A and B are shown apart, each in its own frame.
Chain A
């Protein structure tokens, strides 16, 4: 009897659900965690961006859906001066901000909103600078405070950015989450009401979705913005059902409690592909997992040793065991989806004999001792660093190199490796803005060798000249040529073993159409529809 009652309850709930979806199209996304907040300027986590900058806000320029190229956003066009120091953006007409119970905008987007959005982060005496904790780590870590010289309003629909030095990636930076454009009018109204932090809790943007409600660790609800400047989204309501465990997300997807889920367990992917109700989309992530040699320490000062240890590692076995199919072998420090990726670079083969020979030439015929640092955490670019370290250790032992695996707590690991305490270290990187500069300069330049982000502490002039030159010119074709050349030098000098680029899987229900996997790991539901 009880069973029958329960069954009846479930059936009636289902029936209700169908009726509901006929009225309004609701897409449910089983997200992996709560956002830190709803202002993308204040935080750096992917969950925050998925919940704030992606649905609620727009930027001057945007990344093409599913790609890393730049397209017009709130700025319909822009000019870059010949010296690369001045960027002039022309804003689109008729862009409306969301309305809520607390606030109804009286005007459309204009230059004041752009200036407000940047000055809040940039100027310490800005009335909003200290609101909600006032730390703008992404803005700072992309070097904006030093780079920006002035921001000017030319007229209501024109804004000019002046830079201290030519910096080609600046345009791509303007498509990043921290560069989201917020309403200056709303900020002013909230300041007058004495509740400035409302701006960060109850966001008002120009984006395709408007925040309706948020219950921490449970659910986020959005409604499609009817006045969106690119046209209203195909779905009416967007719901994030926060579900931290990957197995449970999978269970919810199978039971039809959500339409899309991120980050499946790699072990479940095969079964997902076999399920007739599900589709699994996949794309290479904008990341690289690498092993860096500390080129300031013996014997890694010798390029032959670095090359030899490259050849000693059986990366195919690592990809299979560590990534379980969710990774592709890397030969360049930048991922293949990125422009300027050099297809012609020749990778080191797996060749222990040749490796022994090279070591002997370098004077290490009997091998040597080294440490090998393995990260204590799972990262998108390396799902199991300890296992990877064990495999590398075994491979190196074959050529006489004895590696001792070392690990620290994650924060300490990062700090100690910045200080260069390691001999060899496993790490990786996820791209911020899709520009090759964001990998090559940030991870392998001479400046980075000094401040420690370059874990190989590798400062090689011919390479550095190319990448420094490339960040100063704005012609993309010329830049690509320079980067392609830099990748050849990188491979020859071998400061890293480029291990893998991970593959991102996005399982979803069959009825979901139009989804595009973002190389940045973001989850965007504008342009997505549900088939009946």
Chain B
């Protein structure tokens, strides 16, 4: 098990180098100059322009810029945003809890709905249940997030008035952020109704962000279930006269879950990508919106730092999924 762990962690190093190199190079490949963009139509004096380039280190050769960047990163310094002039790490840390909160809720929604629906479709293969689950999930998978989000807002928030349009909590509630997670902070604040307000603000964005993972999980569970149900041991279990609930719930499901767990892990990356759009629609103060804005303004330090941190999070999640996978499936951790 330890050897398995060490190999997995060692593999992170080349990934880390790859991510820094890619983000650094790609941002600079997009045409656009952060200083000129900030100046806009007003323009900037050539001397002042040169001065600012020196200040940000853009006047040095790319290789040296990259070298300096890596040295700084290894010391934990991600630089300062060109736009706000604040440390990138500080900005990331103030925004990231909102993204985690939303992603977690979206994932819980996707799993809670996706798994049972997938199981039903698998067990009742070929029935109307199966067909409708597959049809609906295909629609969900192909739904453009932006359109889907606005549709839900107009229906539930504007016309029916059941849920708030956007934001994390009603503006009536005002308390200091302790953990950055609104669900926890609202409970800690002790203000009546704050928690309920936070939950109601989470409903629509979680559904929108969770729709694609839900579809993927449902389809994956179904096919995995179908495969397992044809295995010999399931037939044996049935032949032994075990009740169907036990056969499906214990023998089949446990094995069927293995590929599903991997898929759930992979969906974390999808969630973070989807968060960019979802956060913009629901005015959710997370990192997705922040990254998009950094791209528009060519805010190199913010973009490099932000993507690197997100990549690290995705890598860690995948690592834990690998480890979890090893726990569920002994064949993997004992493979020589």
Give the B-binding residues of A (Cβ under 8 A). 3, 6-7, 9-10, 12-13, 16-17, 20, 26, 28, 33, 36-37, 42, 44, 132-133, 135, 137, 140-141, 213, 215-219, 221, 239, 241-245, 247-248, 251-252, 254-255, 257, 379, 408-412, 414-415, 418, 427-430, 432, 451-453
Residues of A within 8 A of B31 (CB): 408-409, 411-412
* Chain A minimum-CB-distance residue to B30: A409
Residues of B within 8 A of A429 (CB): 41
- Quote the shortest CB–CB distance from B243 to chain A (angstroms): 31
Residues of A within 8 A of B91 (CB): 216
Residues of B within 8 A of A247 (CB): 150
Residues of A within 8 A of B200 (CB): 6, 9-10, 13
| New contact pairs (8) apart from A10-B161, A428-B41, A451-B43, CB-CB < 8 Å | A13-B170, A13-B193, A216-B94, A217-B290, A245-B281, A255-B158, A411-B36, A414-B36
Q: Can you identify 25 A-B contacts, CB atoms within 8 angstroms?
A: A3-B162, A7-B162, A13-B193, A16-B172, A132-B85, A135-B52, A137-B42, A213-B174, A217-B95, A217-B285, A218-B98, A218-B283, A218-B285, A241-B171, A242-B285, A243-B166, A244-B280, A244-B283, A247-B150, A248-B150, A248-B283, A410-B32, A411-B32, A412-B31, A415-B33
Asked if B43 contacts A453 (CB within 8 A), the reply is yes
Residues of B within 8 A of A242 (CB): 283, 285
Residues of A within 8 A of B153 (CB): 248, 251
- Quote the shortest CB–CB distance from A215 to chain B (angstroms): 6
Q: Which of A218, A252, A414 has the most CB of B within 10 A?
A: A218
Please tell me which one of the listed residues B38, B157, B171, B177 contacts residue A28 in the complex, with CB atoms under 8 A apart. B171
Residues of A within 8 A of B98 (CB): 218
Asked if B44 contacts A137 (CB within 8 A), the reply is yes
Give Cα A20 to B26, complex, Å: 50
Known contacts A6-B162, A141-B44, A414-B40; A248 and B85 CB within 8 A of each other: no
Please tell me which one of the listed residues A33, A44, A252, A414 contacts residue B166 in the complex, with CB atoms under 8 A apart. A252
Asked if B36 contacts A415 (CB within 8 A), the reply is yes
Residues of A within 8 A of B84 (CB): 36-37
- Quote the shortest CB–CB distance from B166 to chain A (angstroms): 5
Give Cα A243 to B166, complex, Å: 8
Asked if A20 contacts B33 (CB within 8 A), the reply is no
Residues of A within 8 A of B165 (CB): 248, 251-252, 255, 257
Give Cα A37 to B85, complex, Å: 9
* Chain A minimum-CB-distance residue to B177: A215
Binary A-proximity of B13-42 (CB < 8 A = 1, otherwise 0): 000000000000000001111101111111
Asked if B83 contacts A36 (CB within 8 A), the reply is yes
Residues of B within 8 A of A248 (CB): 150, 153, 165-166, 281-283
B164 contacts the other chain (Cβ, under 8 Å)? Answer: yes
Asked if A42 contacts B85 (CB within 8 A), the reply is yes
Asked if B43 contacts A414 (CB within 8 A), the reply is yes
Residues of A within 8 A of B196 (CB): 9, 13
* Chain B minimum-CB-distance residue to A142: B42
Give Cα A37 to B91, complex, Å: 12
Asked if B167 contacts A219 (CB within 8 A), the reply is yes
Q: Which of A36, A412, A427 has the most CB of B within 10 A?
A: A36
6 nearest CB pairs, A to B? A217-B285, A411-B36, A133-B85, A218-B285, A409-B31, A411-B33
B80 contacts the other chain (Cβ, under 8 Å)? Answer: yes
* Chain A minimum-CB-distance residue to B150: A247
- Quote the shortest CB–CB distance from A64 to chain B (angstroms): 24
Chain B contact-residue range equals 35 or more
Give Cα A221 to B175, complex, Å: 12
Residues of B within 8 A of A216 (CB): 91, 94-95, 285, 290
Give Cα A133 to B201, complex, Å: 37
B240 contacts the other chain (Cβ, under 8 Å)? Answer: no
Residues of B within 8 A of A132 (CB): 85
Asked if B283 contacts A410 (CB within 8 A), the reply is no
Known contacts A9-B200, A137-B38, A414-B40; A219 and B166 CB within 8 A of each other: no
B298 contacts the other chain (Cβ, under 8 Å)? Answer: yes
Please tell me which one of the listed residues B44, B80, B162, B172 contacts residue A17 in the complex, with CB atoms under 8 A apart. B172
* Chain B minimum-CB-distance residue to A375: B41
- Quote the shortest CB–CB distance from A73 to chain B (angstroms): 24
Please tell me which one of the listed residues A37, A411, A427 contacts residue B37 in the complex, with CB atoms under 8 A apart. A411
Give Cα A411 to B273, complex, Å: 27
Residues of A within 8 A of B30 (CB): 409
- Quote the shortest CB–CB distance from B254 to chain A (angstroms): 31
Asked if B285 contacts A241 (CB within 8 A), the reply is no
* Chain B minimum-CB-distance residue to A39: B85
Known contacts A215-B177, A241-B283, A252-B165; A13 and B37 CB within 8 A of each other: no
B336 contacts the other chain (Cβ, under 8 Å)? Answer: no
- Quote the shortest CB–CB distance from B198 to chain A (angstroms): 12
Asked if B158 contacts A254 (CB within 8 A), the reply is yes
Give Cα A140 to B48, complex, Å: 9
Give Cα A217 to B280, complex, Å: 10
B197 contacts the other chain (Cβ, under 8 Å)? Answer: yes
Asked if A452 contacts B43 (CB within 8 A), the reply is yes
Give Cα A244 to B293, complex, Å: 10
Give Cα A16 to B94, complex, Å: 29
Known contacts A215-B177, A409-B31; A251 and B172 CB within 8 A of each other: no
Residues of A within 8 A of B222 (CB): none
Known contacts A248-B166, A255-B165; A12 and B177 CB within 8 A of each other: no
Asked if B285 contacts A44 (CB within 8 A), the reply is no
Binary A-proximity of B273-313 (CB < 8 A = 1, otherwise 0): 00000001111111001100100001000000000000000
* Chain A minimum-CB-distance residue to B55: A135
Please tell me which one of the listed residues B157, B177, B281, B290 contacts residue A255 in the complex, with CB atoms under 8 A apart. B157
B45 contacts the other chain (Cβ, under 8 Å)? Answer: yes
* Chain B minimum-CB-distance residue to A248: B166
B168 contacts the other chain (Cβ, under 8 Å)? Answer: yes
Asked if A44 contacts B38 (CB within 8 A), the reply is yes
Give Cα A221 to B172, complex, Å: 11
B154 contacts the other chain (Cβ, under 8 Å)? Answer: yes
Binary A-proximity of B82-95 (CB < 8 A = 1, otherwise 0): 01111000010011
Residues of A within 8 A of B163 (CB): 6, 10
Binary A-proximity of B142-162 (CB < 8 A = 1, otherwise 0): 000000001001100110011
Residues of B within 8 A of A244 (CB): 280, 283, 289
Residues of B within 8 A of A409 (CB): 30-32
Query: For residues 99 through 118 of chain B, which have their beta carbon under 8 Å from a beta carbon of chain A?
Result: none
Known contacts A10-B162, A217-B95, A245-B281; A430 and B41 CB within 8 A of each other: yes
Please tell me which one of the listed residues B41, B167, B284, B289 contacts residue A241 in the complex, with CB atoms under 8 A apart. B167
* Chain A minimum-CB-distance residue to B52: A135
Please tell me which one of the listed residues B36, B80, B172, B280 contacts residue A133 in the complex, with CB atoms under 8 A apart. B80
Give Cα A245 to B166, complex, Å: 10
Q: Which of B39, B85, B150, B290 has the most CB of A within 10 A?
A: B85
Q: Which of B38, B95, B165 has the most CB of A within 10 A?
A: B165
Q: Which of B30, B33, B171, B293 has the most CB of A within 10 A?
A: B171
Give Cα A148 to B336, complex, Å: 77
